A = this chain, B = another copy of it.
């Protein structure tokens, strides 16, 4: 049975303050919940509907977290999805951990990307391209925001990240740094691509002045229309696709 206290507890996790305090977050929807169950994240509590339980009995029986059978209505009342007929998991956060970059690795760095939907979409893009590590400035949206988790479509389980001082990390790594600028080199003319950091800037202001000087390759996505800019997740994807084209002949 779903107690009032459990309902109240999950609802507090809608707020960043309580997520940080508890070091827990929640994951909604059947697909994402299955991905988190199959990942190295530690699930603490799982709410499932009858039908989700039936379809996944074998998997669910291999775990020993608290499992509650609830109704679709209850799932929808504790979570943020308009419609959820499957599951919601309460999961332990991972510690914010610095990582080293290996030589042939492309890392995505985000300089104050504020929109959770954009962050989640970028995580999904990273996962598509096999990018394992992301660097976030401290003002970047929170990885465990429910909208980030939702937009990442389960990909949040397959990337590692570090929130910290981008300038410091970039200086330490001494690798190529690619950044989007309106007056850079046409990305279609780029040759001799070497993996390094793909630095993407804030939705309104782009890459900060402080970091712009660290960019070793200023790149531009060629267009011929009248839009002033592209959405940051869109631009990230176009860069990754071009880097992939240049890396895998």
Residues of B within 8 A of A20 (CB): none
Quick check: is A101 within 8 A (CB to CB) of the other chain? Answer: no
Residues of B within 8 A of A121 (CB): 231, 234
Q: A128, A153, A244, A248 — which one has the most chain B CB atoms within 10 A of its CB? A: A128
Using a Cβ–Cβ cut-off of 8 Å, how many residues does chain A contribute to the interface with B?
A: 36
Given known contacts A121-B231, A234-B233, is B130 in contact with A225 (CB within 8 Å)? Answer: yes
Interface string of A210-249 (1 = CB under 8 A from B): 0000000000011111111111011001100110110010
Q: Is the CB of B117 within 8 A of A230?
A: no
A131 CB → nearest B CB, Å: 7
Q: Which of B124, B130, B154, B221 contacts A230 (CB 8 A)?
A: B124
Give Cα A227–Cα B153 distance, bound, in whole angstroms: 8
Q: Which of B125, B153, B158, B234 contacts A125 (CB 8 A)?
A: B234
Q: Is the CB of A237 within 8 A of B230?
A: yes
Residues of B within 8 A of A223 (CB): 128-130, 244
Residue of B whose beta carbon sits closest to that of A235: B237
Q: Is the CB of B241 within 8 A of A221?
A: yes
Quick check: is A49 within 8 A (CB to CB) of the other chain? Answer: no
Residues of B within 8 A of A226 (CB): 127, 130, 155, 158
Instruction: Write 8 A-B pairs (CB below 8 A) sorted by A numbering.
Output: A124-B234, A125-B230, A130-B223, A154-B228, A158-B226, A224-B248, A234-B237, A241-B242
